[in-house]
Structures are given as C-alpha cells and as structure tokens.
Amino acid sequence: MGLRTPFYKLYESRIIRHIDQDRLPVHIGVILDGHRRFAKAEGFDDYRKSYMAGMQKLEELLSWAYQTKIPAVTVWVLSTDNLNRPASELNPYFEVLEEFFSTLPELGRSLDFSLDVTGSMDMLPDGLRASAKTAMAALANVDSAKWHVNIALCYGGRQEILDACKSLVEDLALSGVPAEEISGHIDEESFREHLYSSSLPDLDLVIRTSGEARLSGFLLWQSVYAECVFVDPYWPAFRRVDFLRALRDFAKRERRFGR
C-alpha cells in the first residue's frame, strides 16, 4: 500500500488538472476484488490482515469520492457467490465487515453521506446483518448529507432482477390488476422502482481492481451503459492515483448510450 510519496502527490495534482470537472461521473460503482491474492502476495499468514487493509482502503476511497464531489458511489463488498467459499475464508471477512459497519456512522457524519446497504442480508450471520442495519439506520436520513453511498452486501445481480420482478408482480396483483393484464403494466419505469436502490441513477463508471476484466453480475440493470475501467492492483493496494486516472479516462470518453 505504502505512503504517498512527493512524486505521487505531484502526479496526482497533474492528473487533477487534466480532469474535465464538468464530465465527472454522477454514479460510480467499485468492485473490491483481490483481497486473497493480496494476502498471498504480501505473505500474510491469514486473510484477516488483508480484509482489514481492504476496509481501510474503502474508507480512503470514500474520502476520495467526497473530495472530488461524486454524488453517488456503490461499492460491492460481498457477492452471493462468495458465500460458497470455505468458512476459514468467510468468517474472518464477516468479522472485519461487522467491525467496519460499526465505525461507518462516524465516517458518514464526517464525510456528509447518507447510506444504503443492499443485498440478500438474510443470508448473513446475525452480527454482521445487525451491524449493517444499525449503520444504515444511523445514516439513512442525514439532513446534512451531500452525497450517497450504497454498499452491496451479499449482492447478486441476477437475484436483484428476480426480486424486482417478484415484487413488481406482487404489487400489481395486490392492487387488483387481473393476471391477464399484469404484463401490460410492466415497463422500464415500473421495474426500476422495484430495484434495491431505485432512487439511484444508472451507473456511469465501474472500476474493478485486481486485473479482472468482467462485471460478474454487478448491478446488471444499472450498468447497461456504464464505462468500465479495469485496474491491476489488488483492492487493498488500490491508490488514489488509480482512482484519479479512472476519472480522467472516463472524462475523456465519448459516451454513445447505444447510439
């Protein structure tokens, strides 16, 4: 991870000068990938040190987003597929995530953000689920909030779409729409209202660490026109300069939205 050297500080300043502030993304998604490979590369004797470094890095990322005035950030910290990993890998991560959520209200108040936590949290250990819900409740309606953070916890893109479909159909049925007419009431707008974070705009930029060039089901509906930046560092080694370069590259792209 290392400290920011004078060289990097100068380089960061240069990148900032070349970022068109009028073309910054409104909503950024970040896939935190590479904790385990980082642990092996650093020679850690267990994964907990890497997970702790990753959550410290997440705090740094949120401060960078605050400094650059990004209106919304979604970070994917745990997928439903991750639950298939051995308990020796999962349990330390659950513990570190629980500790992270316990400190999040203080960070949210200092950085002026409101918080949402989305995903299949009923699949998580009681302690982690309670810690996430407590943090969300503390930051759900912050009057001073200037931007929004969404944490995708035990999240799966396909599951979100299935849940949205079920919720929409159930609402239509409860409102008295006959079964044979339900399909006529389903459109993009009504479907969007049943997504986990329906109030957030579509993603503009997705950043994934660790050199993997895929979305793995991250916000499938919301990422349809997102620009993607895949960077080599493992998540705990992600640097502010990597974040700024991603913003610079995004600002230079000509977005076509399928046209």
Write down the domain spans for the chain. Answer: 24-156+201-252
Is 33 considered catalytic here? yes
* pLDDT tens track for 187-227: 999 999 999 999 999 999 999 999 999 999 999 999 999 99
Give the CATH number of domain 24-156+201-252; options: 3.40.1180.10, 3.40.30.10, 3.20.20.70, 2.30.40.10: 3.40.1180.10
Q: How far is CA 181 from CA 154, 165, 186, 204, 215, in A?
A: 34, 15, 10, 34, 35
Average pLDDT, the chain: 94
The single residue of 20, 22, 33, 202 carrying the catalytic annotation is 33
pLDDT-derived band of residue 56, with 50, 70 and 90 as boundaries? very high
Tell me the average pLDDT across 173-192. 96
145 has pLDDT over 90 = no
Quote the pLDDT of residue 4. 62
- As a whole-number percent, the residues of the chain with pLDDT over 90 amount to 88
The one catalytic residue in 20, 45, 81, 82 is 82
Q: What is the pTM of this model?
A: 0.93
Active site residue 82: yes
Report yes or no: 217 and 195 within 8 Å, Cβ to Cβ: no
